[in-house]
Structure 1
Amino acid sequence: MSGICMLTEESSLSWQSASQICAASCQYASEHQLKICVWVLDRHGNPLAMQRINHAPLPSTDIARKKAYTAASFGFGTHLWQQRLADKPHLLSGLTQQPDMILFGGGLPVTYKGQMVGAVGVSGASEAQDQACAAAGIAALPELQNP
């Protein structure tokens, strides 16, 4: 294969789509009287958009970013970690000590035609509520839904 240039094509969320996801997540939270922060990252974990509802807990800003980063890094929802590592406590313990890793609900990958194009992370409410806000943000862009 010498002399052959091998390239891959990758798709990623646009900042416009990221902003729409943030707005829809916050709208859902507002309708449910939740105070949250939401981050949307591209497929490589780079920030695209962030929004914080007034009076959301201050730590939620960083926690939401870490949830999105974890989902972007591994390609699955952060709520699945406990189940995946239930019989591997040593691995669970080790991963919780890694910077920017969050192993509880509220981070979801964003996919388009089966390819991960980004991730959203929400923090400020319960795990289930954070995850619902993230899902509502993604649902605002129906083309991101897998068939």
Structure 2
Amino acid sequence: MQTKSVLGQAEADTIVEAARAEASKHGWAVAIALVDDGGHPLALARLDGASPVSAYIAIEKARTSALGRRESKAYEDMINGGRTAFLSAPLAGTLEGGVPIFVDGQVVGAVGVSGVKSEQDAQVARAGVQSVAA
């Protein structure tokens, strides 16, 4: 039998708050989504001024990252690199801004962010991930 860590409410609060602090430091109006390793939502924060669609996109970026066990940017790069057949994959968040959370070498969830430039979304997501990742 294998065992692995799982994200609890305390970790969810820590992750979202760290991501929120990074976004606020730069004045970025974003949505921050946290999902478990199966892509199921655990937390969502849409900061003041963030567009409604950013919440949907943030969840999908997080889901893509959790299920794929890699940053969502990898899929964006594949598609932009000419592998357009990947557009038919059952993932809706194939844009930069989704970052997996690894604990003891296993993915336990992911953070997705949407609302500013893609690299800024990823920066906010990484701040959340770094608050708990080992």
Q: Distance in 2 between matches of 1:93 and 1:118?
A: 23
Q: Secondary structure at 1:64's aligned position in 2?
A: helix
Which of 52, 56, 67 is matched with 1:58 structurally? Answer: 52
Residue-pair matches, total: 133
Equivalence for 2:42: 48
User: Which structure would you say has the larger Rg?
Assistant: 1
Q: Distance in 2 between matches of 1:43 and 1:63?
A: 18
| Stretches of structure 1 lacking an aligned partner (at least 5 in a row) | 1-6
Task: Give the drift of 1:93.
Answer: 2.7
Equivalence for 1:88: 83
Query: Conserved in 1, the CA contact under 8 Å of 2:76 and 2:96?
Result: no
Task: Give the drift of 1:50.
Answer: 1.2
Query: Conserved in 2, the CA contact under 8 Å of 1:34 and 1:125?
Result: yes
The percentage of aligned residue pairs carrying the same residue is 30
Counterparts of residues 89-128 of structure 1 (less than 5 Å): 89=84, 91-95=85-89, 98=90, 101-128=92-119
Equivalence for 2:71: 77
TM-score of the two chains, using structure 1 as the length reference = 0.84
Equivalence for 1:4: none
Task: Give the drift of 1:16.
Answer: 1.4
Equivalence for 1:3: none
TM-score of the two chains, using structure 2 as the length reference = 0.91
Q: Distance in 2 between matches of 1:27 and 1:126?
A: 17
Task: Give the drift of 1:18.
Answer: 1.3
| RMSD (Å), alpha carbons | 1.5
